[in-house]
């Protein structure tokens, strides 16, 4: 497999379910994990371990997993696609200072880490807004007397 290609793995068959469960248990544990070969062993870095935990968990749920490399510096179009918004909307976010960017020459460039950080902040903010909305006690004017007319 080439370094810049994506790779999709389908969920395993019933025969491999036990092996997948055992792998998930090892990866999710707190002990250090190493990959061993006849030439020696190499410790598994936490970032790779986290990726493998996510992948094995998804496969265990019956989902397919695709691993695709990303560059660390994105164009505005790539960043917009990653966030699921239009490029003009992303540019407005950049100009408002919500996401840092650089302008080498005429084109804006965005760091992948900054885009992912913005995405996490927005998810958290939206979750907080939904929580607040769920706990608001707004009386329904139509139901003020506890009687709702159906006709």
65 to 58, 60, 71, 99: CA distances (angstroms): 7, 11, 19, 29
Is the per-residue pLDDT at 71 higher than 70? Answer: yes
Give the model confidence (pLDDT) of 88-114 as tens digits. Answer: 999 999 999 999 999 988 999 999 999
Assigned token pair, 132: 């607040």
Is the per-residue pLDDT at 132 higher than 70? Answer: yes
3-state secondary structure of 28: helix
* Confidence (pTM): 0.55
Torsional sign, CA 117, 28, 65, 42: positive
Give the model confidence (pLDDT) of 19-69 as tens digits. Answer: 888 888 888 888 888 888 899 999 989 889 988 999 998 998 889 998 877
CB contact at 8 A, 113 and 74:
no
Give the model confidence (pLDDT) of 3-16 as tens digits. Answer: 556 778 888 887 78
């Amino acid at each position: 497999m080439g370094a810049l290609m994506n790779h999709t793995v389908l969920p395993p068959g019933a025969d491999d379910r036990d092996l997948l469960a055992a792998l998930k248990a090892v990866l999710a544990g707190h002990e250090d994990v190493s990959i061993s070969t006849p030439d020696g062993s190499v410790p598994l870095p936490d970032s790779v371990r986290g990726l493998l935990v996510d992948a094995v968990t998804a496969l265990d749920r019956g989902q397919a997993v695709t691993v695709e490399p990303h560059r660390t510096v994105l164009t505005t179009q790539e960043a917009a696609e990653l966030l699921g918004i239009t490029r003009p909307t992303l540019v407005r976010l950049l100009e408002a200072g919500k996401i840092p960017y650089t302008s080498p020459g005429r084109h804006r460039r965005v760091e992948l880490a900054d885009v992912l950080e913005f995405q996490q902040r927005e998810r958290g903010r939206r979750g907080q807004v939904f929580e607040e909305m769920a706990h608001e006690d707004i009386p329904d004017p139509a139901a003020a007397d506890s009687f709702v007319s159906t006709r």
